[in-house]
Each structure stands twice: as C-alpha cells, then as structure tokens.
C-alpha cells in the first residue's frame, strides 16, 4: 500500500496540472481499447466470476458508457465567474482532491471499478484500486489497457488483498478520499474508519429491493421484468428485486412469473453463484422460509448442470406467502430468489418497503400513471422504476441509494460524483482599484 500511495503521490503533481481536455484524450483511446478487446475482457470476467458470457459482455458495455461520461466532463465542469462588485470578480473552479482509493466488490469485476476510475482520474486525481480477492483478474487488465492508452505511470495503481488492505487504505495519511462498494456491514466499517482519519468517504452498501406489482400491471411485461430482476446475474446484483409485494388480486401475474422463471436454464442463461459458502447461505434462507410457512412455487435447490457438477448452482426459486418478518424478506439473500409477500393494498405494501433499513431500489408495475406516481413518491429508495425491474440510472444520471445502502453525501457516478472527486477553489480578484469605492474596493 505504501509503494502504491508513494507512486500515486509522485504522479499527482504532473497529472493534476494536465488540462482536463488532455487528460480525457487518454480515456477516448481507452474506450476504443475496451471496444476492440470486448471478447477477451468478457471472457476474463467469466473466468474469474462465473457469470454467463452475455452478462459479462453487458458489463464491459456498461464500463464503456461510464468512460464516455468521463470523456464529456470538460463540457460539464466549467467553472463560474461573476463581477460581484465594481471591478471585483469571483470565480470558482474545481480541483482534484489528491490520491484516492476505490474499494470494490466481487459482483461486477469490471463495471463497478469503472464507476470510479474514469471520473476520478479525468478530474485529476490519482487512484489506488482494491479489487475483491474473489475476482482479481479484470483489475490487472484494466491497468494494462490504461497504460496502453497513454496513462502516465503512478496515476492508477492496483493493490490486491482483503480486510488488511482495506484497513490500511482507511488509515493511510496519504489518501484523501475513499469510495467503497460492497455489503452494508463492511460499508459501515469503512465509513467509520475512513472518516475517523478525516478522509472524505462515500460507502455504498447492500440492498433489499422491493417490486410492487399492482393488479392492473401488464402480465407479460411484468413477469419477464420481475424474473430478469430477481435472476439476472444470478441475483448477485445490488439492484436485484428480491421481494415482490403482490398487491391485492395478482394470482394471474404470479403464475406467469413462475412460467417465465422455469424457462431460465442454469448453465446456459443463468450462471453459478460465487462460492460454496454463498450457495449454502442462499439454501439456508430458502429452507428457513419454507419451515416458517412460505410456499415454494419453484425450487432451485439441488440444481445440477451436466458436465459442471462441481459448480455452485442454484436455479431460480420463488416463494409465495412469505411474511414480512421472515429473514428472507428482510435480509439480503444475493441469489436468484424471489420472496412474494401478499399485501391487501398499496399503503400496506409501502409500509413494508419503508420499514426496510436499506434503500437502494424499488420498482412498481402498473398501467396507471397515478398509481405509479403514488408509489415512486413514497418508496424509501434512491433509485425507483416504473415497469422497469432494474432501475439503474444511466449516464449522465447518478447511481446511489438511500438509508443503509449508502453512507456519505452524493452519488458514485454521473454528475453526482463530481462534488466527491473535486474541491472548489473560490478566487476573488480585483485589478482596477479605480473601479469603485465600496467596502470591497
Ligand atoms: P463485501 O462487503 O464482502 O466486500 C467488498 C469489499 O470489501 C471487497 O473488496 C472485500 O475485499 C472487502 N472486505 C470484505 N470484508 C471486509 C472486512 N471485514 N473489512 C474490510 N474490508 C472487507 O461485498 P461482496 O460480497 O464482495 O459484494 C456483494 C455486496 O456488495 C452485496 O451486499 C451487494 O449489495 C453490494 N453491492 C452494492 C452496490 C451498490 O451500489 N450499493 C453495488 C454492488 C454490490
């Protein structure tokens, strides 16, 4: 960590003094390299993580979109200037904060690092990236391609490791800012420890996302979106819908959801979960819910994929009549599991959603604009969808949740990240003492 921070510190003076229009030229070239190498990069993600090829490719495409936003930053971060008194001018401009660190989780080995790398670097900071020890390969390739694009040595550094390295980041006096993406348990640790050593910290945590399904929802669109939300990326997404709030009479939609979920083929359209431990945790949640009275409509336990029997497989699993007090309805399961909770009306469904300590995402499925607005106004989540099961805001809109899904101020991507990666310098100037004679002159 000391070597990486020393390299970043040494690079900072020249990098931060490079005009932003020059800095982003590297990211134009880097974007082209990602596009050219997308097959290889996607294969690397599949190798280290296990996700299916189409999901790995989608992740690289999203990384490209994030880089495009960074390339547009020169048009966005222009400062302000105003004559505030006769002959006296105030101006603001944005400066980088210094050496920053980005700590990332296992579930998106390329996309989540690209939430922070392009914006932080284009805005003039130098970075130490700490990948998840479960997926260490993409980070090294990212560093190689950044170098190939022309990034000067020391501007971007990778340090592998787990808890010990994260704690060293939080404590290191040479690091000015830290972003974290991962579970809420660790987000709290990093936020507390990083701010205790007076760094700015933005820590994104876990999630429990609720999908409100109203009786008038379009059955086809709703069922395919709900299944994609709960089982896409094998449910290992912080945006995965894991609780469906079935409002009033929605049996016809529940039946369609089960049909759609049955069509998902493990090993083909569904990847494995990350580890044996994860598989056992997910199976435990399903078993406990069943024992507590939930009805198993579709059971993904004991899934076998021919030729890949050693994989950590769980097929799509749907539980009905889950009660809000069950652990499967309250805790993050992080697998392809949907818990259906029945609610007699929208207000009771909202009360269940609002009681969750998390607040990443929520979505409502309905054909009524008024009902959709009623729910989106009242859901306690930072990212809400209407007939969209994974309501990820796309650039230039910012990504970030509420409550225990995010600690710190601002969002991690898009316009919302600019404040985090920079500090404003306010300059007041007078060149003409004859211009006026008031208290400022
Ligand atoms: P995690 O919290 O276990 O690990 C995240 C990072 O913290 C890794 O780099 C890991 O090495 C490090 N780490 C793990 N334990 C630590 C400890 N005790 N002390 C210090 N550092 C530690 O998360 P994960 O399992 O890799 O990822 C899944 C979690 O990430 C889920 O909870 C998911 O919701 C969340 N996530 C959130 C978002 C978001 O935007 N809110 C995005 C992606 C993932």
Q: What CATH number did the domain enclosing 318 receive?
A: 3.40.309.10
Question: Token pair for residue 379?
Answer: 């859901």
Ligand 1 nearest-atom number relative to CA 399: 40
Pair 83, 229 in one domain: no
pLDDT score at 268: 97
Q: Is residue 63 part of a domain?
A: yes
Mutation choice for ligand 1 from 108, 183, 229, 411, CB with most ligand atoms inside 8 A: 183
Distance 438 CA to ligand 1 centre (A): 56
238 lines ligand 1 (CB under 6 A): yes
Q: What is the whole-number distance in angstroms between the Cα of residue 85 and the centre of ligand 1?
A: 51
Residues 191 and 214 in one domain: no
Residues 305 and 178 both lie in one domain: no
Considering the domain architecture, whether residues 58 and 145 belong to the same structural domain is answered as yes
Instruction: Classify the C-alpha dihedral 241-244-250-255 as positive or negative.
Output: positive
Residue 182 Cα, ligand 1 centroid: separation in angstroms? Answer: 3
The answer to whether the CB of 107 is under 6 A from ligand 1 is yes
Shared domain check, 185 and 94 = yes
Burial of 102 (0-12, 13-18, 19+ CB in 10 A): buried
Cα of 118 vs centre of ligand 1, distance in Å, is: 21
- Give the range of the structural domain holding residue 149, as residue numbers without chain letter: 2-206+400-427
Q: Give residue 437's pLDDT.
A: 65
Q: Is residue 78 part of a domain?
A: yes
Same-domain status, 168 and 253:
no
Q: Give yes or no for residue 103 CB within 6 A of ligand 1.
A: yes
Dist. CA 105 → ligand 1 center (Å) = 4
pLDDT, tens digit (0-9, with 9 covering 90-100), for 270-282? 999 999 999 999 9
Backbone angles phi, psi at 409, to 5 degrees: -110, 140
The answer on 194 and 132 residing in a single domain is yes
pLDDT for position 431: 85
Q: How many domains does the chain have?
A: 2
Q: What is the pLDDT of residues 80-94, one digit of tens each?
A: 999 998 889 999 999
d(CA 431, CA 92): 17
Q: Say yes or no: 90 and 170 in one domain.
A: yes
Q: Is 165 in the pocket of ligand 1 (CB under 6 A)?
A: no
Query: What per-residue confidence (pLDDT) applies to 276?
Result: 98
Residues of the chain with pLDDT under 50: none
Domain shared by 138 and 261, yes or no: no
Which residue of 167, 178, 182, 393 sits with most ligand 1 atoms within 8 Å of its CB, as the best mutation to test the pocket? 182
pTM to 2 decimals?
0.97
Q: Is 333 a pocket residue for ligand 1 (Cβ < 6 Å)?
A: no
In a domain, residue 333? The reply is yes
pLDDT, residue 438, reads 65
Active site (annotated) includes residue 238? yes
Ligand 1 pocket, 162 CB below 6 A? yes
């Amino acid at each position: 960590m000391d070597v990486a921070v020393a390299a970043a510190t040494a690079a900072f003076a020249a990098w931060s003094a490079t005009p932003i229009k020059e800095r982003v030229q590297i990211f134009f070239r880097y974007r082209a390299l990602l596009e050219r190498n997308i097959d290889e990069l996607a294969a690397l993600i599949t190798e280290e993580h296990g996700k299916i090829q189409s999901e790995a490719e989608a992740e690289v495409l999203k990384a490209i979109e994030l880089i495009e936003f960074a390339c547009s930053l020169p048009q966005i971060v222009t400062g302000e200037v105003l004559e505030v008194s006769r002959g006296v001018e105030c101006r603001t401009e944005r400066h980088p904060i210094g050496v920053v660190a980005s700590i990332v989780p296992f579930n998106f080995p390329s996309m989540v690092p690209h939430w922070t790398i392009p914006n932080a670097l284009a805005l003039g900071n130098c970075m130490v990236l700490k990948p998840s020890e479960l997926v260490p390969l993409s980070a090294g390739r990212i560093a190689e391609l950044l170098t190939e694009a022309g990034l000067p040595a020391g501007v971007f550094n990778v340090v592998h490791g787990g808890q010990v390295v994260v704690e060293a980041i939080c404590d290191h006096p040479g690091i000015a800012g830290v972003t974290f993406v991962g579970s809420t348990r660790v987000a709290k640790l990093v936020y507390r420890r990083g701010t205790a050593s007076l760094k700015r910290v933005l820590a994104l945590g876990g999630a429990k996302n609720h999908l409100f399904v109203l009786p008038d929802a379009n059955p086809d669109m709703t069922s395919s979106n709900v299944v994609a939300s709960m089982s896409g990326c094998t449910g290992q997404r912080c945006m995965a819908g894991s609780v469906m709030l079935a409002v009033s009479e929605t049996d016809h939609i529940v039946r369609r959801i089960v049909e759609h979920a049955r069509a998902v083929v493990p090993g083909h359209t569904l990847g494995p979960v990350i580890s044996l431990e994860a598989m056992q945790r997910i199976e435990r949640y399903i078993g406990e819910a069943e024992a507590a009275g939930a009805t198993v409509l579709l059971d993904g336990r004991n899934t076998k994929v021919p030729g890949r029997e050693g994989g950590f497989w769980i097929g799509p699993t749907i539980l009905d009549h889950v009660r809000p007090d069950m652990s499967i309805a309250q805790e993050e399961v992080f697998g392809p599991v949907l818990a259906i909770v029945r609610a007699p009306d929208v207000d009771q469904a909202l009360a269940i959603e609002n009681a969750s300590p998390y607040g990443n995402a929520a979505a409502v499925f309905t054909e009524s604009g008024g009902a959709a607005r009623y729910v989106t106004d009242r859901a306690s989540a930072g990212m809400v969808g209407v007939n969209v099961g994974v309501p990820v805001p796309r650039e230039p809109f910012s990504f970030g949740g509420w409550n225990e899904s995010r600690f710190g101020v601002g969002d991690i991507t898009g316009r919302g990240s600019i404040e985090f990666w920079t500090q404003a310098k306010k300059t007041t100037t007078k060149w003409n003492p004859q211009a006026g004679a008031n208290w400022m002159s």
